[in-house]
Amino acid sequence: MEYKILGKKNLTPVALKTLTDEERTELCAELRDKILNTVSSNGGHLASNLGVVELTVALLSVFDYTKDKIVFDVGHQSYSYKLLTGRFDEFDTLRKKGGISGFPRISESSYDRFDTGHSSTSISAALGMARARDLRREDNYIVSVVGDGALTGGLAYEAINDAGHSKTRMLIILNDNEMSIDRNVGGLSRYLSKLRISSGYISAKATTESFLRKLGFFGRGLIRIIIAIKDFFRFLIYRKKPSIFEDLGLVYYGPVDGHDTKNLIKALDAVKDIKAPVLLHVLTKKGKGYPHAEQHPSDYHGVGPFDLETGVSLNTKLSYTTAFAGSLCEIAAKNRNVVAISAAMTQGTGLETYSMKFPTRFFDCGIAEEHCVTMAGGLAVSGFIPVVAIYSSFLQRAYDEMISDVCFMNSHVVFAIDRSGFVGSDGHTHHGLLDISYLNSMINMTVLSPRDYKDLRYCLDYAVNRCEGPVAVRYPRGCSPFESAGPLYTDPEECIVPHLSCGSGSDYAIISTGRICSEADKAVELLKEKGFNGIHINLALIKPLPVKELIRMTNGISHVFTLEEGIQSGGFGEAVTRSFSEDKCSCRVYNFAVKDPVVRAASPAEQIKEAGLDAENVASVIAGALGGL
């Protein structure tokens, strides 16, 4: 497609405001085409971005992105915004090393107002910006764009409650993509919605309220009576009670068709100057404009490269996630006390098959990681074995609940921590580089870090059936780097024992854990070519450390190196160093770990190399240390 409008260099806020309705329709088609072609090639978030095209065009036709501030919740629906704010020429680099991010990033553009990547944060951030504006006596607009899914997170309601109580002027756009417009909005309902968001209605409403308030006690009584009558007729027409948002102090308008740019612009123009917190309810359809994504929006939420014509993924390899899912189903079939819990990521964590096989033993709690963990604690003290499957970076939100509601009681909750280590193109907000450190700080916690699929299977079996108390099994995103079908043992009990992975000799020892041990295997071979002979010890159990076994296996070796896919501070390597020191070992211990967790989008292999954890750098550093003897 030739991008006649989108490709213009002068597509400024002023130019956007001057487009005709027909030109905006064409612009939306161009945006969808560009997003589809780029995501099918690079991977990314598709369904959510296709659903907000018209909404984004309307927002930038009403507000001035050079001074007004728009905060996208999660940020995985910001592709149209990026294309319309000066990043059209760079868009083909989306989610690639050195390219633009798949999420808003302050470091990338002055038009990105807040780094996002996690859910339910935008209202809080926008409220902070609105208060800063008021403190400076400025007059720009602050807009939060939040999806209905994000409203399953408690943080969003904390922010709404605060905004409603303080009456701070801001606009919240509720992007509701779970409801069909035609099913929920009949003719009369559509008419009344349009009436309520007209500038004439809003002006008359404000004038009437102002007049009545001047009448004192009598006027305030009339206002209450009018509101009661309005709510009664709303119930007759919509068959629902007044909006919870109004009860929390927001001014509610809608619902509005989120794919009708003309009426969206009218609605935004009508509500933007209300001197109070306003929630505009917008109905959209996930995957709009691409039939495959419209019919199966969950399948096209976050995708890898795919065939644009057929919609079929170009990556059909087994992954750690699918290996976990299959193993859990096998374990649950034999142990009826096993239940599984998801935080609105049933498909992403691989639990979709489990949820169909064991529907009564599966719970999706929504985007509410804290609730998931504490509920799991309640199940555990009642005799069940909950397996809580959550991405590593998302589980950070439940740090307190893990300690207070699980670990202190030594409850048998299994945390299946997906996306540990580097996650690739999602970038630094999604890396699971902190989990070893925060898990190491938790009393009674057992931590397992398998290296490949079979290792993961045995570790999960051990965690569920052989372990007591809280236990975490951390595993990475994507495919195993091991071509052979490890592991180094055949029984779950053996997963807690260190194993010799490869090598012979006493020049050095490498102790590694998780996927990154493939780099250690390669490093041993590279060092052998340089004339250094040592061993590589693979370790799945990293808390509590099997210190005596490690010391026995490294006896007589003066240089020991640890390798992990996590941050150095509080990590696996530091624990090994401290344990060896406390045991008065004479060897020197060096740590290979991530020094700076803010590693931008790239492939996991590129990110590992950037962090200096690749085989070539590991071998070079070890050779340098040994060569200096």
Residues forming the active site: 286, 369, 397
Residue 252 has pLDDT above 80, yes or no: yes
**Cα three-residue angle 257-258-263, rounded to 5 degrees:** 65
The pLDDT of residue 597 is: 87
What does the mean pLDDT of the chain come to?
89
Is residue 255 predicted with pLDDT exceeding 90? Answer: no
pLDDT at 235 over 50: no
**Residue of 499, 502, 488, 573 whose CA lies nearest to 534:** 502
- How many Cβ atoms from other residues are within 10 Å of residue 47's Cβ? 26
Tell me the backbone φ, ψ of residue 96, rounded to 5 degrees.
-100, 160
How do 142-147 and 362-364 pair as beta strands?
unpaired
Residue 359 burial (CB < 10 Å; 0-12/13-18/19+)? exposed
Q: What is the pLDDT of residue 31?
A: 96
Was domain 13-185+255-298 assigned CATH 2.60.40.10?
A: no
Whether the per-residue pLDDT at 224 is higher than 80: the answer is no
CATH 3.40.50.920 domain locations along the chain: 497-627
Across residues 233-240, what is the average pLDDT?
47
Q: Which residue has the tokens 């005709």?
A: 20
Fold annotation for 320-474: Rossmann fold (3.40.50)
Q: What is this structure's pTM?
A: 0.88
Per-residue model confidence as pLDDT tens digits over 562-596: 999 999 999 999 999 999 999 888 899 999 999 98
Which of 3.20.20.70, 3.40.50.920, 3.30.360.10, 3.90.180.10 is the CATH number of 497-627? 3.40.50.920
* Separation CA 350–CA 341 (nearest Å): 11
136-150, 236-250, 399-413, 600-614: which has the minimum mean pLDDT? 236-250
Phi, psi of 233 (to 5 degrees): -70, -30
pLDDT interval class at 627 (50, 70, 90): confident
Is 21 or 13 the better-scoring residue by pLDDT?
Answer: 21
Q: What is the mean pLDDT of residues 48-61?
A: 96
All CATH 3.40.50.970 domain ranges in the chain, comma separated? 13-185+255-298, 320-474
CA pair distance 209, 179, nearest whole angstrom: 33
In this predicted model, what pLDDT tens digit does every residue of 159-194 receive, in sequence order? 999 999 999 999 999 998 864 333 434 443 444 445
Per-residue pLDDT tens digits for 596-622? 889 989 999 999 999 999 999 999 999
* Alpha carbons 459 and 445: distance in angstroms, whole number: 15
Torsion of CA 438, 414, 396, 42, to 10 degrees: 110
SS (H, E, C) 130-191: HHHHHHCCCCCCEEEEEECHHHHCHHHHHHHHHHHHHCCCEEEEEEECCCCHHHHCCHHHHH
